[in-house]
Amino acid sequence: MRRDTGSASVIAVAVLAVAVVIAVLLAALVGHSRDCAAAKAAADLSALAGAYAARASLDGEGEGACAAARRTAAANAAALTACHEWGDGSVQVTVASGGAMASARAGPDMKGARR
C-alpha cells in the first residue's frame, strides 16, 4: 500500500500559486482600467480648455488653445502628445496618462457638419 502523506500540501501550494497569479493579473487589469479612465478624463478636460482658449483667441484674448490644453493635461497628471486647432474654434487633443492614451475633441456645436 502506497502512502500519500504530504500530497495535500502540494495541492494547497498549487492552489495558492494559481490564486496569486490571478490576483496579480487582476491588479494589472484594474491599474490599466484606472489609467484609461484618467487619460479619458484628462483628454476631455484638455479639449474643453483648448476650445475655451480658442474661442477667447478668436476675440483677441487669452493664451493659445494648445497651450491651455497642455497646461490642463499637466494639471491632470497627463502629457499632451498631440493638439490640433481647427479653424472653427474646435480643438482635438491626444493625451497620455500612465500607460494609456486617449483623444477628445471639443468646440462649437456644428449641427449637420461631418467631423
Asked if residue 17 belongs to a domain, the reply is yes
Mean pLDDT of the 19-26 span: 93
Q: How far apart are the first and last CA of the chain?
A: 78
CA distances (Å), 64 to each of 4, 20, 28, 47, in order?
75, 50, 38, 12
Asked if residue 2 belongs to a domain, the reply is no
Structural domain count, the chain: 1
Does the structure show a pLDDT above 80 at 38? Answer: yes
Q: What is the pLDDT of residue 31?
A: 82
**With contact defined as beta carbons under 8 Å apart, do 73 and 104 qualify?**
no
Mean pLDDT of the 45-60 span: 85
Does the structure show a pLDDT above 90 at 114? Answer: no
Asked if residue 83 belongs to a domain, the reply is yes
Asked if residue 1 belongs to a domain, the reply is no
Asked if residue 84 belongs to a domain, the reply is yes
Segments forming the whole domain that contains residue 22: 8-106
Mean pLDDT of the 54-80 span: 86
Asked if residue 42 belongs to a domain, the reply is yes
Distance CA 103, CA 113 (A): 20
Mean pLDDT of the 69-93 span: 93
Q: What is the pLDDT of residue 88?
A: 82
pTM above 0.85, yes or no: no
**With contact defined as beta carbons under 8 Å apart, do 73 and 95 qualify?**
yes
Q: What is the pLDDT of residue 78?
A: 95
